[in-house]
């Protein structure tokens, strides 16, 4: 995977894809599925929403880090299956044949099959809403895939895959920060 400018982090979260969140609890890698995400500024801060019913939640708070990975459309079934079982019982990297790769700033692994991975550190946890604010320390992209379309959850068990893309960069240029 190739490192790119940190500014690119926003372009992977702002479209609202379903993401895979990897963690390392000190003994074992784990991964969960998250569709509740949001970009909140141009300074590489993002939010995920989760809670204590997930094993990953405790690991993220204990280690203060995770990796947010963007799966391509052809991983949809795996993405759903990952979100249907817990790392308390299942070694999900093994079960779902995911490739853990070493990250630079965190112990949680990158996922080799994903479009991009964002190495993140926890900035703040807002308990009332289960918001975990993350700062992206490093962005890596996968340049070897055939499929780059992202997956979007509707919320009722159906999903939308990226479709037509419109380019209005010229109209927005005054609002686009350097690096984007």
Ligand X SMILES: Cc1cc2nc3c(=O)[nH]c(=O)nc-3n(C[C@H](O)[C@H](O)[C@H](O)COP(=O)(O)O)c2cc1C
Of positions 22, 45, 56, 142, contacts ligand X by CB under 6 A: 56
Residue whose tokens read 């009332």? 128
Nearer to ligand X, 55 or 96 (CB): 55
Q: Which stretch binds ligand X (CB under 6 A): 6-14, 61-69, 85-93, 99-107?
A: 85-93
Q: Does 72 bind ligand X (CB under 6 A)?
A: no
Q: How far is the CB of 124 from ligand X (least distance, A)?
A: 17
Site residues (CB under 6 A) for ligand X, limited to 6-25 = 18
d(CA 82, CA 68): 14
* DSSP per-residue letters across the chain: -EEE-GGGHHHHHTT---EEEEEE-SS-EEEEEE--EEE--SSSEEEEE--TTSHHHHHHHHHTEEEEEE-BGGGHHHHHHHTTS-TTT--HHHHTT--EE--SS-SSPEETTSSEEEEEEEEEEEGGGTEEEEEEEEEEE--S-S---BEEE-SSS-EEE-------HHHHGGGPPTT-
Q: How far is the CB of 43 from ligand X (least distance, A)?
A: 23
Of all residues in the shown chain, the one whose CB is closest to ligand X is: 83
Q: How far is the CB of 75 from ligand X (least distance, A)?
A: 12
Q: Which stretch binds ligand X (CB under 6 A): 29-37, 105-113, 136-144, 169-177?
A: 29-37
Query: Do the beta carbons of residue 70 and residue 161 sit within 8 Å?
Result: no
Of positions 9, 87, 117, 120, contacts ligand X by CB under 6 A: 87
Nearer to ligand X, 1 or 68 (CB): 68
Q: Footprint of ligand X on this chain (CB under 6 A)?
A: 18, 30, 32-36, 49-51, 54-56, 80, 83-88, 153
């Amino acid at each position: 995977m190739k490192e790119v400018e940190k500014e690119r982090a926003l372009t992977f979260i702002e479209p609202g894809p379903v993401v895979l969140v990897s963690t390392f609890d000190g003994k074992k890698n784990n991964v969960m599925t998250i569709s509740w995400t949001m970009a909140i500024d141009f300074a590489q801060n993002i939010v995920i929403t989760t809670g204590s019913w997930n094993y990953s939640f405790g690991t993220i708070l204990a280690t203060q880090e995770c990796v947010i990975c963007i799966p391509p459309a052809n991983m949809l079934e795996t993405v759903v299956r990952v979100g249907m079982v817990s790392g308390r019982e299942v070694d999900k990297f093994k079960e779902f044949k995911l490739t853990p790769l070493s990250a630079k700033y965190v112990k949680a692994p990158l996922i080799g099959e994903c479009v991009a991975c964002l190495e993140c550190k926890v900035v703040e946890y807002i308990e009332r809403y289960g918001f975990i604010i993350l700062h992206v320390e490093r962005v890596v992209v996968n340049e070897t895939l055939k499929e780059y379309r992202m997956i979007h959850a509707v919320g009722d068990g159906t999903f939308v895959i990226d479709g037509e893309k419109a380019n209005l960069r010229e109209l927005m240029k005054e609002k686009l920060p350097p690096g984007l």
